[in-house]
Every structure is written in structure tokens, then in C-alpha cells.
A and B are shown apart, each in its own frame.
Chain A
């Protein structure tokens, strides 16, 4: 793929706008709260789109189109099963506690609800994970640009890191959130035409269905047993592992996304943020997954498009970029490429700003230097931005040792996030849960995750302790790791809580269900959280029925 001068002009224009937004927002930052929490003043439509965009990194765009080409429309389960229900849950049931407790971060909520050690555990694992994810995202992009455009890996990584650093350093979380929205719009506008053009060329959805095996165009029909579908996952593993544990663990407890909702201007807006975000979320598969499916159909139809190859097999990670090269002329190609850069930047900025807040408030202010004036923490927040970006760059080089980005991310989430949802569920809805219970639960959950990985084998992965069970795919293995981690955490938390002293009910007001006043909705008629959730649920069911 070669770029024309006009493509570079579009890319440069985008960089100028992103930096300009950061520059304009720098005046809004005068306290650490402005820098790290946006001063809780961001309008609802912006927090909703940022809630989506913070997660829509480059590896999601590349990985989802790759999975679309590999597995078909079943990949949409990562959205329809693996995101939307959890987004409804966090908006309707959990946001009152996050927003209402006035905690500044998810780890801080854990401290208020449980104790110091539970917060420390979450703060440290989360900080590590954000740096890791951001580095992987950076690696994915650097590698792709090197492969497709021949740009130097080091140069593209360093340039984009410098731009993300500049605008988050200037305007903090507000700048990251505002830019995420611009990035989200650009990703959709840059890639939706590709999806439409590729599907049209393949003869519409009907044409795709006639050219591909039925398993690639049905989302549920072949989920009965693991041997029937290319993912190697059966319906229980899918629904319990991905749909319940991994998805709720990510969307309900990961500070990266929750932070966007917590920046909203009111309780009703905070609750509506994930609900409103769920509507576009379930349509994203049509932009990121469908092009991958269309690519396989195009290759089979003899339209002149051939799947990219590597080592004798198809190289699915390049499906998206080869489609762009074949379907976009100079000009639109620049927009598509800019969209790819935008997705990378929003993923990275999301991680860096979440890392910032957790490091500054939950680690630095809590353990290293408490009691300093606020200006000191603002200063630390800014320095942490630089440190976070530098660490991400280092991780990008480390990530070169791993090849399958999605699987690795799932594995990391399985170890850290999966048990966490059990802790929050018990913490928010069972007042008897104690700090000792939560902490030992989390430890045993993470241990259970590691043990499951060590005792089972899938595609030559895992099994470093013994080989007790074979999974048909690493995806299935990851889902089951999550199931075991969650169950272990849940059980141990309950058992240890029953054996230890609970906190008095008075200390839990605003933190636990039953001891918290349920917020009254002041939104406009259709923006009431309950009503929104019902609308989203109905559309979700229709979509699943359509692609059954």
C-alpha cells in the first residue's frame, strides 16, 4: 500500500486537531481533580462515546476483523454476549455505588467498602495491566504500519506516543475523553464505508451466505458443542465464561471504562453513560467484524481480492489493511489510515489516563506521600503521564515476543479481572462481605486462574504444571480459566467473610445495596436509565435472532 500526498495531509490535519483540543483544554486544569477526574463535568453524550472509544483500540480493530475472517459472525459474541449485558448491569445496578460513594477510582471504592489491602492489590494489578495493554496496542500498530506502509516500527511508535503524551499532558482526562470522541467518530466514518463497499462487492449479505459455510454466517446455531464451530467453544463456556465472568469483570470493574462514566456531570448521566454506549456498541460488529467476513467471501468469489498470506497460511491480521488498499482510493485511504491511528491513540490514552489516576491517588497519595497539598498531586499526575507513556513504549518492545494479541489480553484479563467481579458483586450486594474475605478471595481467584492455565493445554499453550485436560482452542481455555477464577473468588470470599467480623452497617452507607438510597432519575423521558436498558435489551435480542 502506498500513500499519496493527500493522505498525509489528512493525517496531519488530524494530528493538528487532536493537539489543538488538548491545547484549548489546558486552561481547564487547575487542580488534581481537574486533571485526573475531569472535575466531574463532562456532558453525557461525550462520556458515552468515550466509554466505547477507550476500549476500541487498534488491536480491537485489527483483531476483530481478523476473527471475523477466521470465525465468522460468531465473533460478534464479543459484543452481543461479551459486552452489552454487562454494560446494562453496570449502568443500572453498579453506577449508583461508584458515583454515589464519591470514590475517585475503582480501587478507592474497594478501600471504602473493604480495606486497605484489597485496594492495594487491585491498584497494583490494575496499574500493571493498563501499561501492558497500552504497550500491546502500540506494538500492534507499529508492526502493522511497518508491514503495510514500510514505516519504521520505532518511528511510528514514538511519534504516536509523543502525540498522545502531548494532549493528555496538557488537558488530562478531559482532553483524553474529548479526543476519544473525535477518534470514535473518525473510526466509524473511516471504516463503515469499507464494510459497505466490501459487502456490496461480495453480493450483499445474501451473496456472502451462499459463498461461505453456514457456520460463518450464524451466531448461535453451531454453538451446541465445541467441535461444531471453529472457535472450539460450547454454549456454556461462551455464556458463563465470556458473557458472565470476563465481560462483567471487564465492563463493571475495569477502571479504564468505569472512569469515563464517573467523569459524568450527574448521577443520572453516570448511569446512562454505559446504557447509551451499549446502543452503538452492538452495532460496531458491522463496522469491524463484517469486513473480515466479506473478505473471505470476496476471496472465494474470484473478484480479484486474495487473502493476505504468511508462512503458507492466511494472515488474518492483515485483512483490514488489504481491504483498505483494494477498496479505498487515495484520499479515503488517508481517512481509513487516520482512523486506524485514531483507534490506537484512543486505546492508549484510555490506558494512560486510568493508570495516572490509580497511580497518583491509590498508590502515590496512599502509600508514598500522603497529606501533601493538591498542587503536589497535580504535578505528580503530570509526571505520571510521562512515565506511563514511557513504560508503554517499553512494553511495546516486550510484546514483540508474543504473537496472538487477543488471546494474550484475554489471558491477562482472566488472571486479574475475572475474580474481581465476584468481589464487587459480593461487596455491593451482600453487606456481610468483609475485607479479609475480599482479599483472600481475590488472591485465591488469581491463583485458581494461574492453576487452571498451568494444568490444561490448548494449542500448545498452558500446561506448565501438568497436562490434565485438553481444550479445543485457547479461547475455550481462557473462558474456563475465567470461570474457575470467578468461582474460587466467590466461594472463598463467602467462607472467609462468614468467619470474620463484618463492618457495622453505618460504615457501609452509600456503598452497599440496601444501605444506600436508590437514586431518583432526573433524566429526560427517554434517557431514564431503566427505560434505556429495556430499549437496549430489545434491540440486542432482535439482533441475535436475526443472525441466529
Chain B
């Protein structure tokens, strides 16, 4: 098992949940902040999860072609 695959999916899923929270309930704010924390953190996690999945897919292709 390539650990990047489950980790990638995990962060992608959490990122999607946070991003949609940020998009659809933008009024959801922390008591002391006036920033859409869910949206930014969610987008970052989607990128990070996608990056891990990309790495995993590349290394799988590399193994298969060898």
C-alpha cells in the first residue's frame, strides 16, 4: 500500500467539506476573526490531498512501466 493514496484521499475529502462550508455558509465565522477560515484552509487541503494523489499515481505508473 502506498500511504500517499489514503492520506491524499483523506485530505481531499476534508478539504472538500471545508471548502463547501466556506462557500455555502460564508457567514460562519470564528468569534475573534473576520476571515473565511474554512474556505482558505479547505482549498489548501484540497490542493495538498491532490498533490499526494498525484505523487502516488506517478510512482505507480513508474513501477508499472519498469
Footprint of B on A, CB under 8 Å? 6, 9-10, 13-14, 17, 20-21, 24-25, 46, 178, 181-182, 185-186, 189, 193, 197, 201, 303-305, 325-333, 335
How many A-B residue pairs have C-beta atoms within 8 angstroms? Tell me. 83
Residues of A within 8 Å of B9, CB to CB, are 17
Asked whether, in the complex, the Cβ of A327 is within 8 Å of the Cβ of B1, the reply is no
Distance between A410 CB and nearest chain B CB, rounded to angstroms: 33
Across the interface, do B33 and A201 meet the contact criterion of CB distance under 8 Å?
A: yes
| A303 to B6 alpha-carbon distance, docked (Å) | 40
8 A-B interface contacts by CB (under 8 A): A17-B10, A46-B3, A329-B29, A329-B30, A331-B21, A331-B37, A331-B38, A332-B41
A182: B residues at CB distance < 8 A:
3, 6-7, 10
Chain B residues lying within 8 Å of A329, measured Cβ to Cβ, are 28-30, 33, 37-38
Whole-angstrom distance between the Cβ of A54 and the nearest chain B Cβ: 15
For chain B, residues 39 to 58, give those with C-beta under 8 angstroms from any C-beta of chain A: 40-42, 44-45, 48
Residue pair A17, B29 in contact (C-beta under 8 Å): no
A306 CB to closest chain B CB, in angstroms? 11
Complex CA gap A193/B37 in Å reads 9
Tell me the chain B residues, 17-31 only, with Cβ under 8 Å from chain A.
17-18, 21-22, 28-31
Q: From B3, B6, B10, B45, name the one whose CB has the most chain A CB atoms within 10 angstroms.
A: B3
A332, B38: Cβ atoms closer than 8 Å: yes
Query: In the complex, are the beta carbons of B28 and A330 less than 8 A apart?
Result: yes
- Give CA–CA (A332, B17) in the complex, Å: 10
B-side contacts of A328, CB under 8 Å: 30, 37
| Beyond A6-B17, A330-B21, A331-B17, 19 additional pairs, beta carbon < 8 A | A10-B14, A17-B10, A21-B6, A181-B3, A182-B3, A186-B10, A189-B41, A193-B37, A304-B31, A305-B32, A326-B31, A326-B32, A327-B33, A329-B29, A329-B33, A331-B22, A332-B38, A332-B41, A335-B18
Known: A17-B6, A181-B7. A25 touches B1 (CB 8 A): yes
CA distance A382 to B59 in the complex (A): 33
> Nearest Cβ distance between residue A202 and chain B, in whole angstroms?
11
Given contacts A46-B3, A335-B14, is CB(A193)–CB(B32) below 8 Å? no
Q: How far is the CB of A25 from chain B (nearest CB, A)?
A: 7
Q: Find chain B residues with CB under 8 A from A21 CB.
A: 1, 3, 6
Chain B residue nearest to A323 (CB atoms) is B32
Structural contact, A327 and B10, CB atoms closer than 8 A: no
Chain A residue at smallest Cβ distance from B1: A24
CB distance from B24 to the nearest CB of A (A): 11
Beta-carbon contact of A327 and B45 below 8 Å:
no
Closest to B37 in A: A332
Whether the pair B32, A335 counts as a contact (CB closer than 8 A) is no
Q: Which residue of the partner chain B has the closest CB to A9?
A: B17
A335-B7 contact, Cβ under 8 Å, with A325-B31, A330-B28: no
Q: Decide if B37 touches A178 in the complex (CB within 8 Å).
A: no
How long is the Cα–Cα vector from A304 to B28 in the complex, in angstroms?
18
User: Which of B14, B17, B22, B38 has most A Cβ within 10 Å?
Assistant: B14
Closest CB pairs A-B (n = 9): A331-B38, A331-B21, A326-B32, A329-B30, A329-B28, A17-B10, A327-B30, A332-B37, A326-B31
Determine if A178 and B3 form an interchain contact, defined as CB atoms under 8 angstroms apart.
yes
Distance between Cα atoms of A192 and B13 in the complex (Å): 19
* B41 neighbours in A (Cβ, 8 Å): 189, 193, 332, 335
Smallest CB–CB gap between B37 and chain A, Å?
5
* Measured CA separation A181–B3 after assembly (Å): 9
Give the shortest distance, in Å, between A381 (CB) and chain B (any CB).
21
Interface contact A327-B32, CB-CB below 8 Å: yes
Residue of chain B at shortest CB distance from A10: B14
Provided the pairs A182-B10, A326-B32 are in contact, do residues A10 and B3 lie with their beta carbons within 8 angstroms?
no
Q: Which chain A residue shows the least CB distance to B44?
A: A189
Q: Which residues of B contact A326 (CB under 8 A)?
A: 30-32
Q: Which residues of chain B are near A193, meaning CB under 8 Å?
A: 37, 40-41
Residues of B near A335 (CB, < 8 A) are 14, 18, 41
Given the known A-B contacts A9-B17, A331-B18, are A14 and B10 also in contact in the complex, defined by CB atoms under 8 Å?
yes
Task: Name the residue of chain B whose CB is nearest to the CB of A171.
Answer: B1
- Of A189, A197, A329, A332, the most chain B CB neighbours within 10 A belong to A329
A329 to B35 Cα, complex, angstroms? 10
Asked if A332 contacts B10 (CB within 8 A), the reply is no
Contact A6 B21, CB 8 Å, known A24-B1, A328-B37, A332-B38: yes
Is B11 in contact with A185, judged by CB distance below 8 angstroms?
A: yes
CA gap between A201 and B17 in the complex, in Å: 26
Q: How far is the CB of B53 from chain A (nearest CB, A)?
A: 14
**Interchain nearest-CB distance for A415 vs B (Å):** 37
Task: Name the CB-closest residue of A to B29.
Answer: A329
Tell me, in angstroms, the Cα distance from A6 to B21 when the chains sit together: 9
